[in-house]
């Protein structure tokens, strides 16, 4: 049995206690922030009706022990159905300096997530493909 090949440029760090609000252009949805890296993040427990399209979204992260809020611009890379909910992976295309400092600060303190090949979860409905 072969191990999975890590295709990420940066390791992801597991988080607990953080949520993110994201708008699809019509409604605002709340998801749970699962893990982060300097250039990406994963939300889970987004409603299946969230419209994942190949466009930029504004996402606001809040919660956790520091109770800070961070406003990010993100682009969806993959999605995976999870019962009646959905997990979505995003690339971060714009973020404030405070977000980058936060991620750099938690990286040595948190457990690294071993990522699977998320290309297999990419859905045609996102309107883009991963090269």
The stretches of 1-74 forming alpha helices (DSSP H) are none
What is the pTM assigned to this prediction? 0.73
Instruction: Give, for all 131 residues of the chain, the pLDDT tens digit.
Output: 333 333 545 677 888 889 999 987 788 999 999 899 889 999 999 988 887 777 899 999 998 877 789 999 999 999 999 888 999 999 999 999 999 998 888 776 544 444 444 444 444 344 444 44
Q: N- to C-terminal Cα distance for the chain?
A: 26
- 22-31: long-range contacts (C-beta < 8 A, 24 or more apart)? 22/46, 22/50, 22/57, 22/58, 22/59, 22/60, 22/74, 23/57, 23/58, 24/50, 24/51, 24/53, 24/57, 25/51, 26/51, 31/88
What pLDDT is recorded for position 50?
83
Q: Which domains does the chain have, with CATH numbers?
A: 12-112 (2.40.10.220)
């Amino acid at each position: 049995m072969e191990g999975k090949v890590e295709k990420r440029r940066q390791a992801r760090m597991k988080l607990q206690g953080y949520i993110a609000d994201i708008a699809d252009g019509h409604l605002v949805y709340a998801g749970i922030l699962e893990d982060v890296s300097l250039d990406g993040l994963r939300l889970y427990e987004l409603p299946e009706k969230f419209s994942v399209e190949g466009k930029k979204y504004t996402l606001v992260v809040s919660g956790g022990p520091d109770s800070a809020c961070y406003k990010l611009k993100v682009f969806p890379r993959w999605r995976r159905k999870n019962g009646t909910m959905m997990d979505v992976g995003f690339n971060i295309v714009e973020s404030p300096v405070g977000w980058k400092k936060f991620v750099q600060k938690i990286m040595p303190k948190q457990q690294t997530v071993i990522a699977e090949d998320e290309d297999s979860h990419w859905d045609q409905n996102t309107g883009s493909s991963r090269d």
